[in-house]
Amino acid sequence: MRVLELSDREEAAAYCGKLFARWGAHVTRIEPAGRPPATEADTLALHGGKALATLDLDAPDALDRLRSSASDADVVVCDLPVARLEACLPALEAVPVRVLLTPFGRTGPYRDAPATASTLMALGGHTFLSGDPGAAPLTVPGRYPYYQAGSYAYLVALAEHLAGTNVTVDVSVLEVTAGAHQFTDVMWINGQKVRSRHGSRWENLVPTTLLPCGDGWIAMNVLQNFWQPFALWIGGPELAEDPRYTTNDDRLARRDEVEALVTEAFKGRPMRDLFREGQETWRVPVGYMPSMLGGLEDPHLVARDFWRPLPHPRQPSLRVPGSPFRFVDEGLPTERLPGDAPTLARSIVAGVLAGGTSDRPLAGIRVVDFTRIWSGPLASRILGDLGAEVIKVEAPTGRGPRVVTGGGGYWPPDGPGDRPWNRQALVNKLNRNKSSVAVDLKDSRGREVALRLVAASDVVIENFSARAMPSLGLGYEALREANPHIIYMPMPAFGSFGPYRDYVGLGPSIEPLSGLTSLMGYGPDEPRVSATAITDPAAGVTAAGAILTALWRRARTGEGALIDLSQGEAMSAYLAEHFVEAQLEGREPERLGNAHPSMSPHGVYRCDGEDEWIAIGARDEAEWRALDHVAGLGWAGHARFATLAARLEHRDALDAAIEAWTRGQQKHALAQRLMAAGVPAGAVNSAPEWLLHERGYFSALEMAEAGVWTSDGSPFEFDGTRSYAAWRGAPRLGEHNRPVLAALGYTEAEIEALEAAGVLVDMPPA
């Protein structure tokens, strides 16, 4: 398989190309002549294994030369600026799959506007939620929006390549960013509740935060079911039985008291000892915060061989993050895969869902979905959006975990006359394009239903703890016996092997282990977490990409696969250049708040109104001069700001000058003025302000027994259109029990017997 990567930056296309190169494709990266050179850390982290070339896109024969370079490509991935990209398109027409990545899409009011990761995180609603109340919101360090978009581009390109289509796929990085919310949008769209920021605290769960210990920081994510063992750990039976802290609402009302108890219990104790004790003795979801260099010595990552050696003349022991997923039976394949795409192997049973999905690339692929909460359901939802038939196997109780909110109670609440089988909004959001089978897997007859379904399917995905599926008799050996060609995608927090294999983890406790927290905060003294569990969507899209990679592999070899994936490693992979830079420099990266190590200005600035902010950045001198022109205050004429080196040296003074200018201005109007002038800028949006409506991003789907629900959509446009017309809303619990079991060969009498025994249900218990 041959991939052409056309790019002038180390952003989305570079990350997509890295994934292709890692898994055996021949990747040629073409850069416009004269672009600023990449840093050494970026080159090492992103471009290993690629053939690198330059092309003067302004030369008279540029299109002919580009057409020649693309003549044998199967896929082209491009993230040039929109005008430049569209000028190149005539030379790329012969490439079957064309994936075009732009900050805002090739249509809409912002199509030609520049962007940075910081402005995209602001516009997409993330920055508003990170940082301390009353202080400037914090942007997530690094290139999260771009690498998340690159991961989406990788999986959709693979899907289209395997389907043998000829298509142009547009990917909006802003829409990818907006889709990385769990329930922020759900709370607003369905309840008009605006989620807010609370420092390292999770808004609605106590204790879920980052707290100091003897030599660093400990993260915890204590859901209600973990409170008893956690309380026994930090305070013994007296605390575990104290009625003041029994429920999450009780602890919310006494948050400071609870966190003080935890801090006192952990005072003076080493963070790695606390991590091991909390996990191994008490089995509660805690994590610790290694430094960037310290993460290279984490015993779990070392045992899993996550860090891959990369020979370097100055750093012979240099290591880079490896793949966050791998095939357990073969390790990492290195041979080149063939350029001709075999046809996807299709499922044995077809047509459980009514209506056609044949216009989408994964039509005919069946996925058995045992996932819950967020990262797993997101992965299977992506596959369903792309046309796979996703059959969600649910517990007979049906209702997923609610979002616990501050101020008491749960969200969304049960409304008057709420019928027991109505789904919560978060369940509806994550389970569109799926069918539902509700079966008791603890019963041997329910296990038999699951195995018969696996025998007629292509993929199994689950995100339980590593112990759960084997304990049900549904471990990999049982699944492979039922179907030798099955692709099995478990998603435990820390992967399927290594010292932490059996540890429990959720987004807020996993995030610090990834390295992100060591980079994030207002300064050197105290780190912050994103407080949005941003590792989960990274893991979800990575898992979907892993499944597409396994389908690619199966098309070549005919073999199924056991995939090993670590959610924390998915986020660490997004920080590869930071790990490399720390090793090259021999020191920890500086925690810069909203500043950037190589851009100035780059920050989040106060605007007119309470808690109103704007993100602004300047990547080069042209953007800096454009900002200076819009402001009209002569900043560029000051010696302190005349060059990038001077601006980096005096960035505090420059940030103060910019904020004095932005403070009296309306953030949306100012952002639009700056974007129109060629300056990357973005209003720091709360949920009701996301600027995606004009592109038709949101989907509105009929949900079983619940009416029409508006939710996030897909960041893909296929030949200029979205595929929402073929989508279906989330199903009712057990809605497809009978058609699925009938397709598997169960008789009417057998189905009725399972229903009578309570093995098969279509309504949760009262």
Return d(Cα 149, Cα 102) in angstroms, integer.
9
Query: Please, are residues 712 and 425 in contact by the beta-carbon 8 Å criterion?
Result: no
**Residue 115 near residue 616 (C-beta atoms within 8 A):** no
Can you give the pLDDT at residue 344?
45
Q: Would the pLDDT of 432 be above 60? A: yes
In a domain, 47, yes or no: yes
Q: Tell me if 519 is assigned to some domain.
A: no
Per the structure block, which two tokens stand in for 739? 């058609």
E strands in 16-117: 26-32, 51-55, 75-78, 97-102
CATH label of the domain that carries residue 2:
3.40.50.720
Question: For 351-355, 430-434, 473-477, which range has the lowest pLDDT when averaged over its residues?
Answer: 351-355
**Mean of the pLDDT values across residues 28-43?**
95
Is residue 302 helix, strand or coil? helix
**Structural domain includes residue 66:** yes
536: annotated active-site residue? yes
Q: Supply the pLDDT for residue 667.
A: 97
Residue 760 lies in a domain: no
What is the band of 695 on the pLDDT scale with cuts at 50, 70, 90?
Answer: confident
pLDDT band of residue 337 (cuts 50, 70, 90) is very low
Percent of the chain with pLDDT over 70: 92
**Given pLDDT bands bounded at 50, 70 and 90, which one contains residue 610?**
very high
User: Residue 88 corresponds to which tokens in the numbers above?
Assistant: 């190149």
HEC sequence for 667-716: HHHHHHHHHHCCCCEEECCCHHHCCCHHHCCCEEEEECCCEEEEECCCCE
Domain edge (last residue) among 242, 272, 295: 295
Of 702 and 25, the structure prediction assigns the larger pLDDT to 25
Residues forming beta bridges with residue 707, ordered by sequence position: 703
* 173-182, 355-364, 568-577, 645-654: least confidently modelled range: 355-364
Q: Please, what sign has the CA dihedral across residues 64, 66, 68, 70? A: negative
DSSP codes of every residue in 491-540: --TT-SSSTTTT----HHHHGGGGTHHHH-BSSSS-B---SS-THHHHHH
Residue with structure tokens 């900043």?
635
Q: Is the pTM of this model over 0.75?
A: yes
Residue 518 lies in a domain: no
Distances from the Cα of 633 to the Cα of 258, 341, 394, 658, 695, angstroms: 50, 58, 61, 10, 35
The 10s digit of each residue's pLDDT in 474-492 is: 999 999 999 999 999 999 8
pLDDT in tens, 362-404: 999 999 999 998 999 999 999 999 999 999 999 887 544 333 3
Cis peptide before 412 (omega within 30 of 0): yes
466-470, 496-500, 683-687, range with the lowest pLDDT: 466-470
Decide if 726 is inside a domain. no
The pLDDT value recorded for residue 188 is 86
Reported as a single tens digit per residue, the pLDDT across 100-139 is: 999 999 999 999 999 999 999 999 999 999 999 999 999 9
Q: Decide if 161 contacts 75 (C-beta within 8 A).
A: yes
What domain count does the chain have? 2
Q: What's the rounded Cα separation, in Å, for the pair 409 and 406? A: 8
Query: By the 8 A CB rule, do 640 and 652 touch?
Result: no
In which domain, by residue range, is 249 found?
A: 208-295
Q: Which of 630, 491, 667, 481 is nearest to 564 (CA)?
A: 491
DSSP 434: E
- Picking from 233, 264, 295, the residue at the C-terminal end of a domain is 295
Query: Is beta strand 97-102 parallel, antiparallel or unpaired with respect to 75-78?
Result: parallel
SS3 375: helix
pLDDT of residue 708: 84
What pLDDT is stored for residue 64 in this prediction? 96
- Residues whose CB falls within 8 Å of the CB of residue 624, separated by 6 or more in sequence, listed in order: 601, 618, 636, 644, 647
Residue that terminates a domain, selected from 272, 295, 318: 295
Render pLDDT for 630-639 as a digit per residue (tens, 0 to 9): 999 999 999 9
State the Cα–Cα distance between residues 138 and 416, nearest whole angstrom: 39
DSSP string, 621-650: HHHHHHHHHHHTS-GGGSGGGSSHHHHHHT
Separation of CA 275 from chain center: 25
Residue 589 lies in a domain: no
Average pLDDT over residues 553-568: 93
Instruction: Identify the pLDDT of residue 420.
Output: 33
Residue 56 lies in a domain: yes
**Catalytic member of 185, 536, 564, 655:** 536
**Mean pLDDT, the chain, whole residue set:** 90
